[in-house]
Structure 1
Amino acid sequence: MMRKSASITKSKLEQRVSRQEATVRVPAPGEGKRGEQGYLGYLLRQAHAAVRLKMERTLADLGVTSPQFAVLTMLNAYPGLSGADVARLTFLTPQTVGVIIRNLERDGAILMTPHPVHGRIQQWTLTPRGATLLKACRDRVLELEKRLVTGLDGKAEVTVRRWLAGIAADLQDEA
């Protein structure tokens, strides 16, 4: 069996070490491919991650996570949803929603009632405690939303909202 010469092996090793030692500067949000030259899908995901992190920090002292806030919001908007409906509306897995629902129910924020026709389906609604908690969360999230639209006039905000909702509506047919 033939062995590679020591000089070839050493040369490849030196190249690998040299590449590892070279420091690559990761661009900050808004720079390079993380900025206007980036793919729209990546930019949407980057923006979502930044908003979610800020929301988590904003709601932390209330003991609410952003997925819990999403569940409370949807139950407020559409009382009587099933866990499966909540999962679809919040983009969470049914398992995650199950944990969130159990925790919110344990804390007295939501209440389960059986479906009037389909006994196996559980419907969820906010309790007065849940409504109070949601209001405290919404006050903080609305401040974050104001920050998101800084620099946009009313017409531009409507355009952005229409564009984002249109993407979801358009691409959902292909899923």
Structure 2
Amino acid sequence: MGLGERRHEAGQEGPSLGGLETQVGFLLRLAQVAVFKDLIAELKPYDLRPTDFSVLVVIEATPGLKQQEIGEALRIQRPNVVTILDQLQARGLVLRGAVPGDRRSYALTLTPEGRALLIKARAAHARHDRKLSGVLAGLDKTVLIDALERIAAI
């Protein structure tokens, strides 16, 4: 049952979505809003946004990574990466170190405080992921992830 059918069945009035309810991009946007709403709530006690969490995860997984590489990997524009890293560094979660032979770049690592916070934030993310798994029960998660990766590669 689609969005328009659910609204009609529930007796709700409102504007017709004019066919948007059958469009992949529109439904991806609605899903993204719902997923982020829940993830934002889960990460709020740690004063992290989803992007902050992603940056910390990537730095932990690849210590010494340059900030431009994080931006490329997470598709974050350069000025935004700088702002995110400035904030994480100000909180004592990330260190910017020198890159041998490249005085214009910084190698990134987590501080002990950053690692400790990330452990807690990962538990919050796991709660969020369990909620999503419940919603997706009966669907093949690998097929869904493959489809999303294909769309992301456009």
The structure with the larger Rg is 1
Query: What's the % identity of the aligned pairs?
Result: 26
**1:74 counterpart letter in structure 2:** V
The reply on whether 1:52 has 2:41 as its aligned counterpart is no
Among 98, 121, 143, the alignment partner of 1:159 is: 143
Query: After TM superposition, which residue ranges in structure 1, 4 or more long, deviate above 3 angstroms?
Result: 31-34
The reply on whether 1:81 has 2:78 as its aligned counterpart is no
Give the corresponding residue for 1:141.
125
CA distance in 1, matches of 2:40, 2:56: 15
The reply on whether 1:109 has 2:59 as its aligned counterpart is no
Gaps of 5+ in 2: 1-12
Secondary structure of residue in 2 paired with 1:121: strand
CA distance in 2, matches of 1:62, 1:82: 25
The reply on whether 1:95 has 2:79 as its aligned counterpart is yes
Per-residue CA shift, 1:59-79, capped at 9, x if unaligned?
A: 112111111111111111222
The reply on whether 1:25 has 2:10 as its aligned counterpart is no
Contact 1:33/1:39 (8 A) holds in 2: yes
Q: Which structure has greater strand proportion?
A: 2
Report the TM-score when normalising by structure 1. 0.72
CA distance in 1, matches of 2:39, 2:80: 18
Gaps of 5+ in 1: 1-23
**1:89 counterpart letter in structure 2:** A
1:168 CA displacement:
2.4
CA RMSD of aligned residues (A): 2.1
CA distance in 2, matches of 1:32, 1:62: 40
**2:129 counterpart letter in structure 1:** E
Give the corresponding residue for 1:123.
107
The aligned length equals 141
Bigger relative contact order (CA 8 A; separation at least 6): 2
Report the TM-score when normalising by structure 2. 0.81
Per-residue CA shift, 1:7-32, capped at 9, x if unaligned?
A: xxxxxxxxxxxxxxxxx6157xxx88
The 5 A counterparts of 1:25-44 are 25-26=14-15, 33=19, 37-44=21-28
